[in-house]
Structure 1
Amino acid sequence: MFQDVQLVIFNLAKEEYGLPIGKVQEINRVAAVTKLPHTPEFMEGIINLRGRVIPVLDLRKRFGLDAREHDDSTRIMVTDVSGQTVGLIVDAVHEVVTIKGSGIEPSPPTFILEAQYIEGIGKMEGRLVILLNIDRIMSSQETIQLKQSVQAG
Structure 2
Amino acid sequence: MTEMLDQKEMKVIVFQLIDKEYAIGVDVVQSIEKLLTITRVPKTPPYVKGVLNLRGVVTPIVDLRERFGLEAKEMDDSTRIIIVTLPEFEVGLIVDAANDVIDIPVGSIEPQPGVVGTVESEFISGVAKIDKRLLVMLNLEKVLEPVKRGTSDEF
TM-score bracket, normalised by the shorter chain, equals: 0.7 to 0.9
1:126 aligns with 2:132: yes
**Cα contact 1:36–1:149 (8 A) shared by 2:** no
Give the 5 Å matches for 1:3-152: 4-111=9-116, 113-139=119-145, 141-145=146-150
What are the superposed Cα offsets for residues 4-60 of structure 1, whole Å, 9 maximum, x if unpaired? 311100000110000000011000001110001100110000000011111000000
Q: How big is the shift at 1:149?
A: 6.5
CA distance in structure 1 between the aligned counterparts of 2:51 and 2:151, rounded to whole angstroms: 10
Q: How big is the shift at 1:148?
A: 8.1
- Aligned-pair RMSD on alpha carbons? 2.1
TM, length-normalised to structure 2: 0.87
Tell me: CA distance 1:107–1:137, structure 2 relative to 1, closer, same or farther (3 Å): same
Which residue identity is paired with 1:68? K
Tell me: CA distance 1:93–1:146, structure 2 relative to 1, closer, same or farther (3 Å): farther
CA distance in structure 2 between the aligned counterparts of 1:80 and 1:104, rounded to whole angstroms: 23
Per the alignment, in what secondary structure is the counterpart of residue 116 of structure 1? helix
**Cα contact 2:111–2:125 (8 A) shared by 1:** yes
Residue ranges of structure 1 left out of the alignment (5+ in a row): none
**Cα contact 1:42–1:61 (8 A) shared by 2:** yes
**Cα contact 1:19–1:131 (8 A) shared by 2:** yes
The aligned length equals: 148
Q: How big is the shift at 1:110?
A: 1.6
CA distance in structure 1 between the aligned counterparts of 2:26 and 2:126, rounded to whole angstroms: 16
Tell me: CA distance 1:149–1:3, structure 2 relative to 1, closer, same or farther (3 Å): same
Tell me: CA distance 1:69–1:146, structure 2 relative to 1, closer, same or farther (3 Å): farther
- Aligned-residue sequence identity (percent) comes to 36
CA distance in structure 2 between the aligned counterparts of 1:147 and 1:54, rounded to whole angstroms: 17
Tell me: CA distance 1:146–1:12, structure 2 relative to 1, closer, same or farther (3 Å): farther
CA distance in structure 2 between the aligned counterparts of 1:51 and 1:26, rounded to whole angstroms: 14
User: As a proportion of its length, which structure holds more helix?
Assistant: 1
**Cα contact 2:14–2:24 (8 A) shared by 1:** yes
